[in-house]
Each structure stands twice: as structure tokens, then as C-alpha cells.
């Protein structure tokens, strides 16, 4: 076992390879679905914000600026 601490960038690279932009967009759609089903704006608003974060991440993986992602 290595005694060297893992750098943040190397661990982010590992995670980045585990998800695709398509998977991030699917997670965003789940957030939107849950937000539509929510009965309270205090629940739906954070879900929509989270969904936007997933869309922004998908855009970044595609090499696009986050602002090019669909907004809710």
C-alpha cells in the first residue's frame, strides 16, 4: 500500500472516466422528473438546481461551456 497521498486531480480523473456526458444528462432528467413530482417548491427548486449542475458537467465533458447546456 502506498503512503503517498492521492492528489485531488488524479482522483477526479478516475471518477471522470466512470461517467459519460450521456449518463450525466440522464441524471439531470431524473432530477427534473423528481422536481415535477415534488409537491413543494422547497423540494423542487433544489432538484432543478442539481439537474442544472449535471447538465453543466455533461457540457464540460463534451468540451462545451456550461452555459450551452439546457436550462430549466
Q: How far is CA 20 from CA 16, 23, 29, 52, 66, in A?
A: 8, 5, 14, 16, 15
Q: How far is CA 44 from CA 14, 37, 50, 56, in A?
A: 31, 8, 10, 18
**pTM exceeds 0.75 for this model:** no
- Section 35-64 average pLDDT: 95
Is 28 a residue whose pLDDT tops 70?
Answer: yes
CB 32 within 8 A of CB 48: yes
Q: What pLDDT digit, counting tens, does each position of 10-23 carry?
A: 555 555 555 899 99
CB 54 within 8 A of CB 21: no
DSSP designation for 12: H
Amino acid at each position: 500500500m502506498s503512503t503517498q497521498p492521492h492528489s485531488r486531480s488524479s482522483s477526479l480523473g478516475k471518477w471522470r472516466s466512470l461517467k459519460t456526458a450521456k449518463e450525466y444528462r440522464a441524471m439531470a432528467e431524473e432530477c427534473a422528473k423528481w422536481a415535477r413530482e415534488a409537491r413543494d417548491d422547497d423540494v423542487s427548486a433544489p432538484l432543478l438546481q442539481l439537474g442544472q449542475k449535471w447538465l453543466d458537467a455533461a457540457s464540460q465533458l463534451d468540451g462545451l461551456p456550461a452555459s450551452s447546456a439546457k436550462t430549466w
